[in-house]
Amino acid sequence: MKLHGYFRSSASYRVRIALNLKGLSVEHLPHHLRRGEQRDPSYLAINPQGLVPALQDDAGAVLTQSLAIIEWLEETHPEPPLLPIEPWRRAKVRAFAMVLACDTHPVQNLKVLARLRQLGLPDDQVTGWAAWANQEGLSACEVLIAGEAGPFCFGDTAGLADLCLVPQLANARRFGVDLTAFPRLLEAEMAAKHLKAFADAAPERQSDAE
Q: Are residues 134 and 66 in the same domain?
A: no
- The helix (run of H) or strand (run of E) holding residue 1 is none
Q: Are residues 70 and 144 in the same domain?
A: no
CA distance 144 to 180: 17
**Residue 97, domain extent:** 87-197
Q: Are residues 93 and 178 in the same domain?
A: yes
Q: Are residues 148 and 67 in the same domain?
A: no
Residue 191's pLDDT is what? 98
Verdict on whether the full-model pTM lies above 0.95: yes
Residue 129's pLDDT is what? 98
Positions of the chain with pLDDT lower than 50, given as ranges:
none
Residue 100's pLDDT is what? 98
Question: Are 3 and 198 in contact, with CB atoms under 8 Å apart?
Answer: no
- Residue 141 lies inside a defined structural domain of this protein: yes
Domain endpoint, select from 18, 51, 80 = 80
C-alpha dihedral, 120 to 124 to 125 to 127, nearest 10°: 110
Q: Are residues 42 and 144 in the same domain?
A: no
Residue 12's pLDDT is what? 98
Q: Which residues pair with 155 in a beta bridge?
A: 152
Domain endpoint, select from 26, 59, 80 = 80
Residue 148's pLDDT is what? 97
Residue pLDDT, tens place only, 20-55? 999 999 999 999 999 999 999 999 999 999 999 999
- Residue 209 lies inside a defined structural domain of this protein: no
